[in-house]
C-alpha cells in the first residue's frame, strides 16, 4: 500500500494516547505522515523530533487543523486528540471531504448529554462517495487468534460476553474510555441492537463491574465488564465468549502479545492496532462506505450505559 498521505492530530503519547503508535503503523504500511497537528509550536516540534528519532518518520508540524489540511494535502486525517475536542475536529475534516480514522469514542463533551440527532448530523457528511469514517477499536481484530484456541465457539449462538480492561482513568472516565472497545466486540458478535438495564454491580474509583443486556435480532446477549484502573502499561485485558476465556499478556521490551486460554494453551497475537490500520487502509482503497448505523450505535449505546450507571 502506498500513496496515502496521513495527517495526525495528537501524534505523541503523553499518558495513554495511541497517536504515535498509529503514526508508526501507517508509516510501516508505506503511507507518508504528511503532517502532525498539536497545540503549540513547541509541542509539534518536540513531537516531530520524537517521531524522527523513534521511528525515522520525517514530517511537518502545524498548530491549526484547517491550515494543516490546506498545506499538507492529506488523503486521510487521524484524530487522536483528547476526546473533548473530537467534535470540532470532525466537523473540519468532514467539510474538507477527507476520510478519517478517529480514536474512540467518536466524541464526548463533558457535562453535555449526547444528542442522537447531533451524532447523525456529524456522521452524515462522511457517508458520501469516497469518504470513510471509522473508529480505532482494535479488539475485534483479535478474534482470529481467539477462535484458534476455541474453534468450537465459532458459529455458536453467543449468549454471554465478558471483558476485562485496565484503563488509566478512574470513575466514569474509565467507562467512557473502555466501553467503546466492549461495544465494538458486541457489535461484531451480534450486530446492532439495543442496550438494556445497564448497572454497576460493584463500584469504587479504581474498580468497576458493569453488566447489561444487549437485545439484538437473534436474541439477547448478557454482557459483563470488569474495569480495573491501571495507570501504567502493560495493562490487564482479556475476554470470554460463552464462558471460554482468554487473557492477554505482553512481553516487553519487544511488545509481543499473546492469548492464554483456560487450559494454558497459547496463541501469539499480531498487534491488533497494526491490523486495524491495515484493514482501514484496505477499506479506504476499496471504496468501502462508512457504516453509518454502527457509528451511530457506538455513541448511542455508550450514552445509554454512561447515563444510567450513576457512578
238 contact partners, CB below 8 Å, separation of at least 6 = 163, 164, 245, 246, 247, 248, 259
Classify residue 10 as left (phi > 0), alpha (psi -120 to 50) or beta. left
Output the pLDDT for position 78: 98
User: Strand 256-261 vs strand 244-251: parallel, antiparallel, or unpaired?
Assistant: antiparallel
Tell me the pLDDT band of 241, cut-offs 50, 70 and 90: very high
Higher-pLDDT residue of 1, 240:
240
What's the whole-number mean pLDDT along residues 258-272? Answer: 96
Answer for the pair 19, 88: CB distance below 8 angstroms, yes or no: no
Using DSSP, state whether 35 is helix, strand or coil: strand
Tell me the pLDDT band of 14, cut-offs 50, 70 and 90: low
Interval 27-72: pLDDT, tens: 999 999 999 999 999 999 999 999 999 999 999 999 999 999 999 9
Q: CA 188, CA 138: separation in Å to the nearest integer?
A: 11
Q: Give the residue from 241, 256, 247, 73 showing the smallest Cα distance to 166.
A: 247
What are the φ/ψ torsions at residue 195 (nearest 5 degrees)?
Answer: -70, 135
Length of the chain: 311
Tell me the pLDDT band of 217, cut-offs 50, 70 and 90: very high
Output the pLDDT for position 231: 86
Output the pLDDT for position 290: 97
What's the whole-number mean pLDDT along residues 118-131? Answer: 92
- H-helix or E-strand spanning residue 269: strand 266-269
Output the pLDDT for position 172: 87
Answer for the pair 242, 156: CB distance below 8 angstroms, yes or no: yes
Q: What is the separation of C-alpha 94 from the centre of its chain, rounded to a whole number of angstroms?
A: 19
With 80 as the cut, is the pLDDT of residue 269 above it?
yes
Share of the chain above pLDDT 90, in %: 83
Interval 60-113: pLDDT, tens: 999 999 999 999 999 999 999 999 999 999 999 999 999 999 999 999 987 677
Output the pLDDT for position 188: 97
Question: Start-end ranges of CATH 3.40.50.720 in the chain?
Answer: 5-136+277-291
Answer for the pair 192, 216: CB distance below 8 angstroms, yes or no: yes
Output the pLDDT for position 155: 87
With 90 as the cut, is the pLDDT of residue 211 above it?
yes
With 90 as the cut, is the pLDDT of residue 267 above it?
yes
Output the pLDDT for position 1: 45
Could you tell me the fold of the domain covering 5-136+277-291? Rossmann fold (3.40.50)
CATH of domain 139-271+304-309: 3.30.360
Q: Where are the alpha helices (DSSP H) in 97-241?
A: 116-123, 143-149, 172-190
Interval 145-197: pLDDT, tens: 999 999 999 989 999 999 999 998 888 889 999 999 999 999 999 999 999 99
Q: Which three cell numbers stand for residue 296?
A: 451511530
Amino acid at each position: 500500500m502506498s500513496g496515502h498521505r496521513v495527517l495526525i492530530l495528537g501524534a505523541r503519547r503523553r499518558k495513554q494516547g495511541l497517536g504515535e503508535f498509529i503514526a508508526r503503523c501507517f508509516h510501516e504500511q508505506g503511507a507518508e505522515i504528511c503532517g502532525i497537528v498539536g497545540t503549540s509550536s513547541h509541542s509539534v516540534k518536540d513531537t516531530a523530533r520524537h517521531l524522527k528519532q523513534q521511528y525515522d518518520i520525517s514530517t511537518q508540524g502545524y498548530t491549526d487543523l484547517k491550515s494543516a489540511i490546506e498545506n499538507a494535502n492529506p488523503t486521510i486525517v487521524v484524530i487522536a486528540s483528547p476526546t473533548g475536542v473530537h467534535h470540532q475536529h470532525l466537523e473540519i475534516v468532514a467539510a474538507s471531504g477527507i476520510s478519517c480514522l478517529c480514536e474512540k469514542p467518536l466524541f464526548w463533551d463533558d457535562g453535555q448529554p449526547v444528542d442522537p440527532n447531533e451524532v447523525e448530523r456529524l456522521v452524515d457528511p462522511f457517508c458520501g462517495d469516497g469518504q470513510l469514517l471509522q473508529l480505532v477499536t482494535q479488539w475485534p481484530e483479535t478474534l482470529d487468534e481467539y477462535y484458534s484456541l476455541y474453534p468450537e465457539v465459532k458459529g455458536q449462538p453467543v449468549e454471554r460476553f465478558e471483558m476485562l480492561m485496565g484503563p488509566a482513568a478512574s470513575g466514569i472516565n474509565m467507562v467512557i474510555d473502555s466501553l467503546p472497545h466492549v461495544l465494538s466486540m458486541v457489535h461484531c458478535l451480534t450486530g446492532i441492537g439495543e442496550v438494556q438495564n445497564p448497572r454497576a454491580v460493584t463500584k469504587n474509583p479504581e474498580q468497576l463491574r458493569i453488566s447489561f443486556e444487549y437485545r439484538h435480532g437473534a436474541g439477547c446477549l448478557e454482557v459483563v465488564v470488569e474495569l480495573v484502573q491501571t495507570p501504567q502499561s502493560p495493562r490487564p485485558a482479556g475476554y470470554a465468549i460463552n464462558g471460554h476465556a482468554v487473557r492477554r499478556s505482553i512481553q516487553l521490551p519487544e511488545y509481543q502479545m499473546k492469548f492464554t486460554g483456560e487450559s494454558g494453551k497459547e496463541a501469539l497475537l499480531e498487534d491488533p492496532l497494526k491490523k486495524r490500520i491495515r484493514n482501514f487502509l484496505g477499506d479506504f482503497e476499496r471504496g468501502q462506505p462508512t457504516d453509518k448505523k454502527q457509528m451511530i450505535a457506538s455513541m448511542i449505546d455508550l450514552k445509554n450505559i454512561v447515563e444510567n450507571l450513576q457512578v
